[in-house]
Amino acid sequence: MKKYIFLTSLVCSLFSIVRAQNPVIQTKFTADPAPMVYNDTVFLYTTHDDDNAPEGMAGFLMRNWLLYTSTDMVNWTDHGIVASLDTFDWPASAGWGNSENGAWAHQCIERNGKFYLYVTLHGRGIGVLVADSPYGPFTDPIGTHLISGDYDTIDPSVFIDDDGQAYLYWGNPNLWYVKLNEDMISYTGEIVKDASFAKEEGKEDPYHFQEGPWLYKRNDIYYMAYASTCCPEGMAYATSNSPVGPWDFGGYIMKPDGRSSGNHPGIIDYKGSTYVFGFNYKLNFMITDKHHERRSVAVAKMEFNTDGSIQELPWWYEGTPVEQLGTIDPYKRIEAETIAWSEGLKTDTDGNAGMYVTDIQDGDYLKVQGVDFKKGARSFHISAASKKGGNIEIRTGSIDGPLLGICTVDDTGGWDKWKTFSAKITKTKGVHDLFLVFKGESEQLFNLDYWRFK
């Protein structure tokens, strides 16, 4: 796949300059965004479409759930896999197949210092995991499904109301919900099919609910956002004065578009603004004109009218890019996998470096947006591992912008043998977009762990 990404470098570079925020992740295929705000940080949990997903609609190949974080809505740090199908023992023991596929949509929420991750195990129901940290590790507290596979069980979404009552929603083609107990791993009462969205023969359906519910509350109005119509899918919403309806159709958040067969809303309030996440197939179609279920998470700022209705958004890439909230401090350790935009790169983990950037070839680059050199800087330092070596051009503004310096990375004796390399740079001050542009002759140049300026 790498060679196809490389061949599209010019298109990708031009695209990134004007729309750098979308899709927000380029090193992996991601979908079903589930954002959560905790301790002034956005935790973006996503599903993961495998690179080898076959050609064709509904050819999903999904084994795990990923986590990214940001404090500025533009630069995202990759934390890798937080859970996988292997985290659960009960599907295989119940004769429901192995852990090779079916890690579908999910959502994480915090309560009383614990973090609860509700996930779809396709065809096997909805499971719940718990952790003491939003980064995990997550474990299975009940050893079986929370919701069985008998109730259209995909796309769980969890919401805790102001009175402390928690609700779990899910479903395709109907919307279902249940009241969770305070322990968040059990429920009381019956599982309910929501009457407003229920599909009934001969009944008019103004809602066009498909899947992907997400409950959001603002100014005492409950918003049920969801993937609407099929296919393609847009994002629509309905409103109520109660978390269990009845619901009044509100309109589209984003209308369906033929460039994306699916969608999946995730909504948060962060630093005074509201953001909606979804996905499309931009990265897939930058590689091939054939449809694979290899999706890409995107984000847009969401605005409201005075009556509480949501202003309809244009399709991804056609609206105003999300503005950066704050800057990056280059004088502290910055993980190499903190990226606003990249080309041709992947991420991986090992026991020494943790998460790192890999699959680096000549001409690849990464961009970190809004780096504040307020104290000035005279040197660049980076942790790398390599069997071949190469050069890192340190530039600002663009991939061919002003050259601050060149850092040479030598052979370290192995792809997991980490050493620090440094280079003198032209003294620079002010806020700049930083570009690390990679040059070299070997098929793979080096792996990168972290960097800083002095």
Q: Are residues 21 and 157 in the same domain?
A: yes
Burial class (CB in 10 A: 0-12, 13-18, 19+), 96: middle
- Asked if residue 297 and residue 346 are part of one domain, the reply reads no
Are residues 274 and 363 part of one domain? Answer: no
User: Using alpha carbons only, what angle is made at residue 44 by residues 42 and 50, rounded to the nearest 5 degrees?
Assistant: 160
In a domain, 324, yes or no: no
216 and 120 in a common domain:
yes
311 inside domain? no
Which of the 8 DSSP states describes residue 114? E
| Domain contains 313 | no
Residue 197 lies in a domain: yes
Please check whether residue 315 lies inside any domain of the structure.
no
| Phi–psi pair at 20, nearest 5 degrees | -65, -25
Please identify, among 257, 286, 302, the residue that sits at the C-terminal boundary of a domain: 302
Task: Return the beta strands (E) in 387-413 as ranges.
Answer: 390-396, 403-409
Q: Is residue 75 classed exposed, middle or buried when 0-12, 13-18 and 19+ CB atoms within 10 A define those classes? A: buried
The count of other CB atoms within 10 Å of the CB of residue 97 is 15
Sheet holding 125-131, edge to edge: 103-111, 114-121, 125-131
Co-location of 354 and 443 in the same domain: yes
Name beta bridge partners: 365.
Answer: 343, 437
| Three-state DSSP state, 123 | coil
Measured distance CA(108)–CA(99) in Å, rounded: 21
CA distance between the termini of the chain: 37
For 259-311, the three-class secondary structure string (H helix, E strand, C coil) is CECCCCCEEEEECCEEEEEEEECHHHHHHCCCCECCCEEEEEEECECCCCCEC
Helix (H, G, I), strand (E, B) or coil at 140: coil
What token pair was written down for 279?
A: 């996905």
What number of H helices and E strands is found in the chain? Answer: 4, 28
Claim to verify: residue 91 and residue 140 sit in the same structural domain: yes
* Residue 191 and residue 61 share a domain: yes
- Mark whether 91 and 193 lie in a shared domain: yes
Side-chain half-sphere of 407: how many Cα atoms within 13 Å?
29
Domain that holds residue 62: 2-302
Q: Are strands 62-70 and 41-49 parallel, antiparallel or unpaired?
A: antiparallel
* 187 and 147 in a common domain: yes
Check whether residue 292 and residue 345 sit in a common domain.
Answer: no
DSSP 8-state symbol, 337: T
Q: Which of 283, 302, 321 is the last residue of a domain?
A: 302
List the pLDDT tens digit at each of the 454 positions of the chain. 453 443 333 334 333 333 447 999 999 999 999 999 999 999 999 999 999 999 999 999 999 999 999 999 999 999 999 999 999 998 876 666 667 899 999 999 999 999 999 999 999 999 999 999 999 999 999 999 999 988 899 999 999 999 999 999 999 999 999 999 999 999 999 999 999 998 888 777 889 999 999 999 999 999 999 999 988 999 999 999 999 999 999 999 999 999 899 999 999 999 999 999 999 999 999 999 999 999 999 999 999 999 999 999 999 988 888 999 999 999 999 999 999 999 999 999 998 899 999 999 999 999 999 999 999 999 999 999 999 999 999 999 999 999 999 999 999 999 999 999 999 999 999 999 999 999 999 999 999 999 999 9
Is 52 within a domain?
yes
Number of domains in the chain: 2
CATH of the domain at 386: 2.60.120.260
**Residue 154 maps to a domain:** yes
Cβ atoms of 270 and 324 closer than 8 Å: no
CB-neighbour burial class of residue 375 (10 A; exposed 0-12, middle 13-18, buried 19+)? exposed
Matching residue, tokens 């009934």 = 200
358 and 424 in one domain?
Answer: yes
Which one, of 74, 90, 133, 159, lies nearest residue 341 by Cα? 74
Q: Is the domain of 220 the same as that of 75?
A: yes
Residue 311: other Cβ atoms inside 10 A: 10
- Is residue 321 assigned to a domain? no
pTM: 0.95
pLDDT given at position 96:
65
- The CATH number for 203's domain is 2.115.10.20
Rounded Cα distance, 406 and 394, in Å:
6
| pLDDT reported for residue 20 | 45
